[in-house]
Structure 1
Amino acid sequence: MTATSTTATEPLVRPRRSSAFRRGLQDWLPRIVLAPSFAVIVLFVYGFIIFTVYLSMTSSTLLPRFDFIGLGNYVKLFDLPNWWIALKNLAIFGSLYIVICCVLGLLLAILLDQKIRGEGVLRPIYLYPMALSFIVTGTAWKWFLDPGIGLDHTMHALGWTSFHFGWIKDREMAIYTVVIAAVWQSSGFVMAMFLAGLRGIDTEIMRAAQIDGAGPWQLYRRIIIPMLRPAFLSAFVVLAHMAIKSYDLVIALTNGGPGRATELPATFMYSYTFTRSQMAIGAASAVVMLMMVASIIVPYLYSELSTEREQ
């Protein structure tokens, strides 16, 4: 009887063990597959962020040094006139870039939301600049704005000799050419964000407002635009992040000039790290830029997570 019962239960035990092993393997297999990528991200992103923070507190010049000197490089950084010029240019560029992109993107989204003919053609045309790299955009706008070969030269060739548009060569106006190029590239992306928000609004709400006598202006000002708050917030975070780390567009368009008229923190960081061989100062500026980005992204993520928890 005992031998018979043991033999009878063996086929039942083995499938259970096999199924438990399979479930364990299914649980661990994604972790095993993702572990190398996770390790690389930790090393080359967060590891080098920590390394940069440490370098900013050393006396590194051309090559890294590992002598800890505290926050002295940050004091030197904020004593440099060039750093304040970069911050001033960032304030001008960032504020105009964000505001104009949001306004223009909203207007384009409202236009396409009217179910106009040719929407399928206009939408990719507006989005096309975002498919280009900032290097291509900067180079194209550099040619277009160059008085010798671009718009100025073309207008003179057409007989409009009084026309003059030399902002790219003007110290006072050069930063606005960077704004023009950046807005041209990013406004279509912002339009797509707002268009998705407009298409997500319940039409019953708008119909009820129209029945109550709300005109188009009141409908957008009091109902539609306030409901686009998540899209506005997302656009602000993305554009602010892009403005702070803008480098390739400036290098291709003006190379930070004329003089230092278009220098931004990213170009400042590169020049002090690789051109002037002041690695510690460059690392300190990179850490300040990281803090700028974190001051925008961290509150946004916190608000999003808080909203999800409340739901």
Structure 2
Amino acid sequence: MKAGFLPKLLFSPSVFLVLVCVYGYIMFTVYLSFTTSTMLPTFELAGTANYTRLLGLENWQVSLSNLATFASLYILIAMVMGLGLAILIDQKIRSESAFRSIFLYPMALSFIVTGTAWKWLLDPGVGLERTVHLLGWESFSFTWIKDSEMAIYCVVIAAVWQTSGFVMAMFLAGLRGVDSEQVNAAKVDGAKTWQVYLRIILPQLGPVFVSAFVILAHMAIKSYDLVIALTNGGPGRSTWLPSVFMYQYTFTRNEMAVGAASSVLMLLAIGAVVLPYLFSEMRKVKNG
């Protein structure tokens, strides 16, 4: 038996399962998006009719609008908070490891747990508003989760709380890799702290910014469990995202082909974010 045969034999079941259960089902979903499938899959082709119908649906337009609001705020706030926390912790503060653990802890929770916890916290009847009323401030009102105009911001708050610690860890690792000689030289020349960060440190964190953006963007596009646990897509359609649309049309409204078309567009959106980053990293490795 050749020496390289045993590792291939051990890895082959995993490779087979990935090929079938990941890439195989992706191809099947793409195929379904071009059929007339409703409650159950059919093999009658419909061309691009499902994509045409999908792009004309008001529910899909609402989902895209909500995604634009959620993703832009989520990515921006999480990156700013993550960078700010990383800079604070990088000041060699006391109990640094304890603070890192505290900020990273939310990432250890599932989005279902996060959504449920924030749902209780933001519920006017049992959460923050109720607690403040019991403390004597009865005029206080915080009903965003019940307001169709503000509910999407509740999803942003919960998502930022979940992932800002992870972004902090990424930026902290980047800060620890900054060339200290350049920083010390700038300080000797009389540069102020904000100038050091703006002109020396932040430019060296470019790869971290890109990595954080890619991770947060793909998480925003595929977000589903957090929304369902927190708002269940409501009030009305105010927190529908493309993932919620896909589930509703595939399993609730029995329009499997339209739901498959929406999932294909989500996959393309994630690919547009992730693939350029992967190719860039592979090129860097190849070029040494």
Provide TM-score, normalisation by structure 1. 0.91
**How many angstroms does 1:106 deviate by?**
0.2
Q: Give CA deviations for 1:212-244 in whole Å, capped at 9, x if unaligned.
A: 221100000011011011111110011001000
Aligned to 1:3: none
> Which residue, 251, 258, 266 being the options, matches 1:281?
258
Query: Is the counterpart of residue 52 in structure 1 residue 29 in structure 2?
Result: yes
2:44 is the counterpart of 1:67: yes
Larger deviation: 169-178 or 31-40?
Answer: 31-40
1:232 aligns with 2:232: no
Deviations 1:200-219 (A, max 9, x none): 11211211111222110000
Query: Are 2:237 and 1:260 aligned?
Result: yes
Q: What per-residue deviation string (whole Å, max 9, x for no partner) do you get for residues 228-272 of structure 1?
A: 111111100110010000000000000000000000000110010
State the secondary structure of the residue aligned to 2:43.
coil
Which deviates more from structure 2 when the two are superposed, residues 113-122 or residues 49-58? 113-122
* 1:31 shift after superposition: 1.3
What residue number does 1:142 align with? 119
Structure 1's consecutive aligned runs of 4 or more residues displaced over 3 angstroms after TM superposition are: none
Select 1:245's aligned residue among 198, 207, 222.
Answer: 222
Structure 2 spans left out of the alignment, 5+ residues? none
Q: Which amino acid aligns with 1:207?
A: N
Q: Aligned pair 1:118/2:91, yes or no?
A: no
Say yes or no: does 1:190 pair with 2:167.
yes
Cα displacement string for residues 127-163 of structure 1 (whole angstroms, at most 9, x for unaligned residues): 0000000000000000000001111111111111111
Q: CA deviation at 1:273?
A: 0.4
State the superposition RMSD in angstroms: 0.8
- Are 1:43 and 2:39 matched, yes or no? no
Q: Distance in 1 between matches of 2:3 and 2:156?
A: 51
CA deviations 1:100-143 (Å, max 9, x no partner) are 00000000000000000121211100000000000000000000
- What's the CA shift for 1:309? 2.4
State the alpha-carbon separation in 1 of the partners of residues 48 and 191 from structure 2.
58
1:223 match: secondary structure: helix
1:11 counterpart residue number: none
Instruction: Give the equivalent residue in structure 2 for 1:5.
Output: none
Q: Report the Cα offset of residue 308 of structure 1.
A: 2.0
Q: Percent identity?
A: 63
Partners of 1:293 and 1:135 lie apart in 2 by 22
One-letter identity of the residue aligned with 1:265: P
Work out the CA distance in 1 between the residues paired with 2:285 and 2:41.
44
- Which letter maps to 2:258? I
Which of 84, 100, 104 is equivalent to 1:127?
A: 104
User: Shift of residue 303 of structure 1?
Assistant: 1.1
The one of 138, 143, 150 equivalent to 1:166 is: 143
SS at match of 1:78: helix
* Correspondent of 1:208 among 171, 185, 190: 185
Query: Equivalent residue for 1:152?
Result: 129
Say which SS state the counterpart of residue 26 (structure 1) adopts.
coil
Secondary structure of the residue aligned to 2:285 is: helix
Q: What does residue 275 of structure 2 align with?
A: 298
Paired residues, number: 288
> What letter is aligned with 2:221?
I
Shift of 1:305: 1.5
State the Cα deviation string for residues 147-188 of structure 1 (Å, max 9, x = none): 011111111111111111100000100000000000000000
Residue among 165, 190, 195 paired with 1:218 = 195
- Structure 1 distance, partners of 2:21, 2:113, is 27
**What is the rounded CA distance, in whole Å, between the counterparts of 2:51 and 2:105 in structure 1?**
41
Larger radius of gyration: 1
- Structure 1: 5+ residue stretches without partners: 1-20
**Range moving further from structure 2, 138-147 or 210-219:** 210-219
Distance 1:239 1:208 in 2: 35
